């Protein structure tokens, strides 16, 4: 799949923002007033910024309100509604926290629960795609949730918790890659089933339908950069979770270290999201003799 920057930024940043809301809503981080305001502002900048970025991916961003209608069937629609509701509920909680120094536990827990469901619905936009076997797995949701939790814990200064979550993330990330590598073969889809010609022998593409490229090929058959996949996986794994985990658990905590770990985690997170799209193969590639 084509790793569009707008979608990479959307999933990465909104995951972090809603991850922060989970911990702030559950009453973690014992601060108040201006300090609380800064944390709330960061959570909003990340979640809101991510959502705004996703609009740049649309052919008609001015019609985005229409996307809130089909919550009965569409995960994208659910994600849109849930993120708005989450931000609204968290907003009430945050205003009370900042101005009256009251952290309403009921309201906070509700906001935290909504934030979890929002991250889950983001993951389901991808996990529902049967046509993209690597994504079509519960592991996609586990991964998105853990990235949200680990990043959220890190950004709300939950040093030890963030360290352990980063370790869990590293394990889940490796499991997801191993499982994902065999996902396409498990579907049973090949050029034989795609064309129905499998009963005649081994199928190969003799001629493409056109001399150039097309929307399908540029959007769903992304082969550029796949040769660097192992290097990028190592970067995503070490910077995204392993090094942050070691630094958080082994070194004495402090603001400078926190900032360094956040930067390292961000680089790893973006590498992971780039891979998430670039590595994913769509079955339509079978009609083009590519994956």
Closer to another protein by Cβ: residue 34 or 215: 215
Q: Judged by CB, which is closer to another protein: 70, or 109? A: 70
User: Which residue number, 1 or 170, has a Cβ lying nearer to another protein?
Assistant: 1
For 31-70, b/e burial (b = at least 16 CB within 10 A) is eeeeebbebbebbbebbeebbebbeeeeeeeeeeeebeee
Cα–Cα distance for residue pair 33/25, rounded to 1 Å? 16
Q: Is the dihedral of CA 42, 16, 12, 90 positive or negative?
A: negative
Question: Considering the complex, what minimum distance in angstroms separates the CB of residue 141 from another protein?
Answer: 16
Report in angstroms how near the CB of residue 218 gets to another protein at its nearest. Answer: 8
Distance CA 145, CA 14 (A): 11
> Two tokens at 10?
């959307």
Contact 277, 7 (CB under 8 A): yes
**For helices 243-250 and 159-181, what crossing angle results, to 10°?**
160
Taking the complex as a whole, the smallest distance from the CB of residue 29 to another protein amounts, in Å, to: 34
Distance CA 217, CA 148 (A): 31
Nearer to another protein, 262 or 284 (CB): 284
Smallest gap from residue 279 Cβ to another protein (A) = 15
Residue 79 or 165 having the CB closest to another protein = 79
Give the shortest CB-232-to-another protein separation in angstroms: 22
Q: Can you give the binding site for another protein, defined by CB under 8 A?
A: 1, 57-61, 63-64, 66-70, 72-77, 80, 125, 128-132, 187-189, 191, 193-197, 199-210, 212-216, 219-220, 282-284, 287-288
Closest of 274, 204, 193 to residue 1, by C-alpha? 274
Q: Please report how close the Cβ of residue 173 comes to another protein at its closest, in angstroms.
A: 23
Contact 151, 19 (CB under 8 A): yes
Token duo for residue 39:
């944390």
Q: How far apart are CA 167 and CA 169, in angstroms?
A: 5
Query: Which residue lies nearer to another protein by CB, 129 or 165?
Result: 129
Least distance (Å) between residue 286 CB and another protein: 8
Compare residues 204 and 227 and give the one whose CB is closer to another protein: 204
Closer to another protein by Cβ: residue 32 or 131: 131
Q: Collapse the DSSP code of 123 into the 3-class scheme (helix H, G, I; strand E, B; otherwise coil) and give the result.
A: helix
The CA–CA distances, whole Å, from 83 to 15, 35, 70, 156 equal: 11, 24, 15, 20
CB of 183 to another protein, least distance (A): 13
SS3 (DSSP) at 118: helix
């Amino acid at each position: 799949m084509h790793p569009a920057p707008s979608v990479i930024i959307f999933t990465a940043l909104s995951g972090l923002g809603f991850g922060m809301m989970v911990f702030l809503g559950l009453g973690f981080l014992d601060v108040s007033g201006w300090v609380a305001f800064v944390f709330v502002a960061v959570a909003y900048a990340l979640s809101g910024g991510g959502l705004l970025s996703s609009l740049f991916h649309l052919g008609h961003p001015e019609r985005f309100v229409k996307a809130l209608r089909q919550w009965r069937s569409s995960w994208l629609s659910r994600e849109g509604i849930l993120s708005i509701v989450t931000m609204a509920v968290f907003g009430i909680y945050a205003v009370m926290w900042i101005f009256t120094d009251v952290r309403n536990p009921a309201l906070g827990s509700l906001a935290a629960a909504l934030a979890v469901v929002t991250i889950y619905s983001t993951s389901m936009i991808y996990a529902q795609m049967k046509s993209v076997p690597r994504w079509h797995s519960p592991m996609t949701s586990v991964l998105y949730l853990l990235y949200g939790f680990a990043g959220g814990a890190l950004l709300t200064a939950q040093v030890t918790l963030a360290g352990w979550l980063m370790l869990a993330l590293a394990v889940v990330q490796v499991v997801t890659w191993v499982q994902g590598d065999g996902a396409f073969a498990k579907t049973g889809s090949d050029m034989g089933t795609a064309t129905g010609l499998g009963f005649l022998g081994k199928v190969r593409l003799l001629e493409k339908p056109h001399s150039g490229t097309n929307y399908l090929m540029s959007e769903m058959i992304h082969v550029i950069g796949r040769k660097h996949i192992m290097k990028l996986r190592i970067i995503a794994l070490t910077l995204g979770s392993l090094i942050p985990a070691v630094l958080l658990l082994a070194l004495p905590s402090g603001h400078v270290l926190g900032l360094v770990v956040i930067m390292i985690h961000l680089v790893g997170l973006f590498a992971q999201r780039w891979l998430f799209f670039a590595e994913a193969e769509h079955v339509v590639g079978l009609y083009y003799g590519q994956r």
